[in-house]
Structure 1
Amino acid sequence: MSSTSTNGIGYCFSDRAQGIANYPHCRRANGLIFVSGISSRRLDNTYVGVTERADGGFDLDIREQTRAVLDNIAVILARVGASLDNVIDVQVFLVDMKDYPGMNEVYNEYFDSESGPSRTTVAVHQLPNPAKLLVEIKVIALDPSPEPAVYAPAALTAPAAASCPVASCASVVACAGLTSLVVVGAAALAGMFWHRR
């Protein structure tokens, strides 16, 4: 399910673990896809990488949890037409830095240092289920096929023949058919120009 608002398009998937608060699994905006923090929690609220012991405690496996998190992120990205290859930034939250080597071992199976994303890893006091969660990851990905956004602001009056006065795709803005159009507080525009945002 998706919903469009002034901050882009939010996507919530009924077959993925649901957020405890009100937020989407990911949001598409301005040529980017922002994936919310993802854990190893399943739809039925059980967790990958968690084994309950006879004494009621839990054995936690950082490698299994990391793999489940990255696989969950891959599924979410695929639902919106992207993949892990499009990821440009990763934030990893670990409950304990002793799990850093195990997390890295699995992480390095998914990304390499040359084409992989930038990454920050921090230790946090705890995650939403402190008895079961060792890791949470959030990512930002490039939208591989962003749809151009078309703007016709009130301050810009397009000539009658122009149906698309201003179009934006990723980081390029194109203004066309703006012959002698005056922008409030700015110089006159003529013809067509490209401006890098």
Structure 2
Amino acid sequence: MSDIVHAGDAPKPVGHYPHARRVGGLLFLSGIGPRDPASNAIVGNVHDAEGHLISYDIDAQCRAVFANVRAVLKASGARWEDLVDVTVYLTDMAHDFKAYNRVWTEYFPDPAAAPCRTTLGITALPTPIAIELKCIAHLPEAR
């Protein structure tokens, strides 16, 4: 049996799926991107007059992704410290990994307390975002 989580303070999923699902003592978050929860706009994207993407700010997208992960964790009864595994998808590994890694160390300054992490370079994501996170957290039985 599992419990579905919908986080009111996180952007709506871009497909027909929940923000997260609790199974036993684990919380599985769906892929989370850098959308603004209020406007659904992609944080850090710059478009030309015709609406074509011309640039993006990876730093801003990283921070937005972390904020959205926090919102889903909070709605699930979990905390940042409960993260145990994070898979990172970057659409431009060569250009964005260094900036992403720098932001990661701000949010997880102690490597011994950080979750496990895998970072993958991919060619595209379903929407024009440069980063997406897939996370697993452990839910303590009682706080």
**Quick one: distance in 2 between partners of 1:27 and 1:139?**
11
Q: Distance in 2 between matches of 1:135 and 1:96?
A: 9
Task: Please identify the structure whose Cα radius of gyration is greater.
Answer: 1
Name the residue aligned to 1:136.
Answer: 132
CA distance in 1, matches of 2:123, 2:83: 26
2:101 aligned residue: 104
Unaligned runs of 5+ in 1: 1-5, 147-197
Listed one character per residue, the Cα deviations across residues 105-155 of structure 1 (whole Å, up to 9, x for unaligned) are 1111111311111110001110011xx310000110110236xxxxxxxxx
Instruction: Report how far residue 16 of structure 1 moved.
Output: 2.6
Q: How far apart, in 2, do the equivalents of 1:41 and 1:92 lie?
A: 16
Please name the residue that 1:46 is paired with. 41
Counterpart contact for 1:89–1:140, Cα < 8 Å: yes
**Separation of aligned partners in 2, 1:11 and 1:65:** 23
Q: Which of residues 54, 61, 64 in structure 2 aligns to 1:58?
A: 54
Count of matched residue positions in the alignment of Structure 1 and Structure 2: 138
* Counterpart residue number, 2:26: 32
Asked whether 1:85 is paired with 2:84, we answer: no
Per-residue CA distance 1:33-78 (angstroms, 9 max, x = gap): 1111100112433111112245744320111101100111011101
Q: RMSD between aligned alpha carbons?
A: 1.7
2:122 aligned residue (121, 124, 128): 124
TM-score (norm 1): 0.65
The CA distance in 1 between the partners of 2:23 and 2:6, in whole Å, is 15
Answer 1 or 2: which has greater strand percent.
1
1:125/1:57 Cα in 2 relative to 1: closer, same or farther (>3 Å)?
closer
Unpaired segments ≥5 residues, structure 2: none
* Residue identity matched to 1:78: K
More helix per residue = 2
Where 1:37 maps in the other structure, the secondary structure is coil
The answer to whether 1:23 aligns with 2:21 is no
Cα separation, 1, equivalents of 2:137 and 2:11: 20
| Aligned 8 A contact 1:65 1:135 in 2 | yes
